[in-house]
Structure 1
Amino acid sequence: MSAQQKHRGAEAARPYGSPYHVPVLCQAVVEGLVTDPAGCYVDATIGGGGHAAALLNALAPQGRVIGIDRDPEALEAVRHRLGDAIAAGRLLLVQGNFADLETILNRLGVEQIDGVLLDLGVSSHQLDEALRGFSFQAAGPLDMRMDPTSPGPTAAQLLERWSAHELAEVLRRYGEERRAHKLARAICQARPITTTTELAEVVRRVVPAREATKTLARVFQALRIAVNDELQALERVLVAATRRVRPGGRLVVLSYHSLEDRRVKRFLRYGNLAGEPVRDFYGRLLRPWRPLTRRAIRPSDDEVEANPRARSARLRIAERIAEAVSETS
């Protein structure tokens, strides 16, 4: 890729960014997702509406987008931003969990769709809004729920409920944290912990100062994943997309850490959550998706410079195969 192409990639996101969120790899997402300009696409994590706005601009007037998000604040931002598209019937918003994709489509009377976009990150608004409790860099209540109106437990409530062993398992499994047991014991000894700053202070007492920031990122990631059941939701939506995306349609996934990316890569390669190849009598690999990205697409240096939160993004694109039979390999 030339320097000029990289610059164009970074510039492509600018018109679609907003104070709520700046979409990542916007041009690559739209180019990878749209196969029929008159089709129906699902933006299953609509966030601030940046990708959806770019997608609507790429579609024909009869093309439409179904936007899903758990966060009512995100949906309100999109209503304000894309009200004309909503009024024209080109954009339909649904508050919900993308794990329930099939239930949502059934409720809307939609049988098949032309593509699904999953942007698995946390929005800039969620990170910057201290009251949401997603970031150790802002003082606020230790909440972390994607839907703050849901009855589900907050991060603070889970920290109070878990044993040291259970907490260590969460930190190890979802944060890949090598000091999981040491951190879990310190956190449990310091309970009750109700704010982001209280949790951050405990972590900083346990780890060397030079490692504090990366450790805090892993701890907060682990808690957020657990609070929102994120990996299980991802697995459910991958299976649902397989049932609902038409042959020739696309699945586009933006992930931001290795736990997500490994699951996506494995599912697209083998067509199952176990990550085990299934072959027919002739040795041909049976799978419902054909990966179109041999390696994950990464943001250019220009885009990362303009939007540092894009640094960890990995984009994978796959096409639905009609007969779920691939080449011998």
Structure 2
Amino acid sequence: MLERCVELLAPALQHEGAVFVDGTLGMGGHTEAVLQACPSARAVGIDRDPEALALATGRLARFGDRFTGVHAVSDDVPEVLAGLEPPLRRADAILFDLGVSSLQLDEVERGFAYRTDAPLDMRMDQSTGLTAADVLNTYDVGELVRILKEYGEERFARPIARAVVRQREQEPFTTSGRLVALLHDVVPAASQRTGGHPAKRTFQALRIEVNAELSVWSQALTQALRALPVGGRIVVLSYHSLEDRITKRGLAAGATSSAPPQMPVVLPEQQPWLRLLVRGAEQATDAETAANPRSASVRLRAAERTRTTPDQT
């Protein structure tokens, strides 16, 4: 949804010195399009994956000092802005393209994809944190059930967790192929025929746990909204219901009056401080989905800040 993102972000980036933050830089495609469409703006690209950051920085080198790349997690937007030269407190437009990137999915050794046997890593930043193998080999049955249910919405979480614990007692998990084989055995055949690949939900749950994606996103959204000035805009692309639920609730809260329903007069401080820019969540067109099947699950939400709030002081 590249063109749609630029269309929504551009009105906030037309003035001299405007600042755009790409909180999930990836390969830099969205940032490149924004810099081309908004010649007065500078861009700050944040990514926790050093490899993606290096590739995107090379791609955007032609923009010179209009682009700055920063190795950080997406919930560090205020700290990233404060660390720039000169330091900044606000960003006129912010974009988040959530979830795992095509770069990470396509690099077999990262372990994100379940269709190829690879080390069970799944870390977006491979320099720190637990791997997916660590989770499988150390979490007890209850913890495994929790993440499979909450993050993967997996109906067969308990039998999968029990099977993992039984098998790791014989030999620790190290590669994705063995986990996929276990899931083929545990998930009922009827569910596999109607519910897609049996590893899809488990791999999603492990990836979210390893990278703390939902807690990071909840904090990132709060921080990003705080960094927007009046007239500033935010666009979010989500790829599964849990991310989209956080986004929907966060934007809806800002777009709703805080006054009790029975109050005859709404005070200025009770007025909404966000204006939703799209109705509900927009989806990719049939043409884009045909050209890029990974866009089939995307949900786009966007909002504009309409007034300041006490947490911005």
Q: TM-score, normalised by structure 2?
A: 0.89
1:77 deviation in Å? Answer: 1.1
Aligned to 2:279: 294
Q: Does 1:92 find its partner at 2:75?
A: no
Note closer, same or farther for the CA distance 1:277–1:204 as it changes in structure 2 (3 Å cut).
farther
2:68 maps to amino acid: L
Aligned equivalent of 2:157, options 180, 198, 211: 180
Q: Does 1:244 find its partner at 2:224?
A: no
Aligned mates of 1:29, 1:228 — CA distance in 2: 25
Aligned equivalent of 1:160, options 116, 132, 137: 137
Aligned mates of 1:258, 1:211 — CA distance in 2: 20
The question of whether the paired residues in 2 share the 8 Å contact of 1:242 and 1:288 is answered with no
Aligned mates of 1:250, 1:137 — CA distance in 2: 38
1:177 deviation in Å? Answer: 1.0
Q: Does 1:55 find its partner at 2:34?
A: yes
Aligned mates of 2:266, 2:153 — CA distance in 1: 36
Q: Does 1:46 find its partner at 2:22?
A: no
The alignment partner of 1:89 has SS state of helix
Aligned equivalent of 1:143, options 91, 98, 121: 121
1:195 deviation in Å? Answer: 0.8
Aligned residues: 294
1:323 deviation in Å? Answer: 4.5
Aligned equivalent of 1:123, options 101, 105, 119: 101
The question of whether the paired residues in 1 share the 8 Å contact of 2:24 and 2:47 is answered with yes
Note closer, same or farther for the CA distance 1:154–1:277 as it changes in structure 2 (3 Å cut).
farther
Aligned mates of 1:89, 1:31 — CA distance in 2: 24
Aligned mates of 1:68, 1:205 — CA distance in 2: 40
Aligned mates of 1:83, 1:210 — CA distance in 2: 51
Aligned equivalent of 1:114, options 89, 92, 106: 92
Q: Deviations over 1:82-110 (max 9, x none)?
A: 2111xx21110001101111111111111
1:79 deviation in Å? Answer: 2.2
Aligned mates of 2:43, 2:13 — CA distance in 1: 12
1:279 deviation in Å? Answer: 2.1
1:277 deviation in Å? Answer: 7.1
1:271 deviation in Å? Answer: 3.2
Q: TM-score, normalised by structure 1?
A: 0.85
Aligned to 1:207: 187
Aligned equivalent of 1:77, options 55, 59, 66: 55
Aligned mates of 2:7, 2:91 — CA distance in 1: 17
How many percent identity over aligned positions? 43
1:210 deviation in Å? Answer: 5.1
Aligned to 2:300: 315
Aligned mates of 1:71, 1:323 — CA distance in 2: 33
Between 118-127 and 247-256, the greater mean CA deviation after superposition: 118-127
Gaps of 5+ in 2: none
1:269 maps to amino acid: A
The question of whether the paired residues in 1 share the 8 Å contact of 2:81 and 2:89 is answered with yes
Between 304-313 and 184-193, the greater mean CA deviation after superposition: 184-193
Note closer, same or farther for the CA distance 1:125–1:209 as it changes in structure 2 (3 Å cut).
farther
1:46 maps to amino acid: L
Aligned mates of 1:288, 1:138 — CA distance in 2: 47
1:140 deviation in Å? Answer: 0.6
The question of whether the paired residues in 1 share the 8 Å contact of 2:13 and 2:20 is answered with no
Superposed CA RMSD in Å reads 1.9
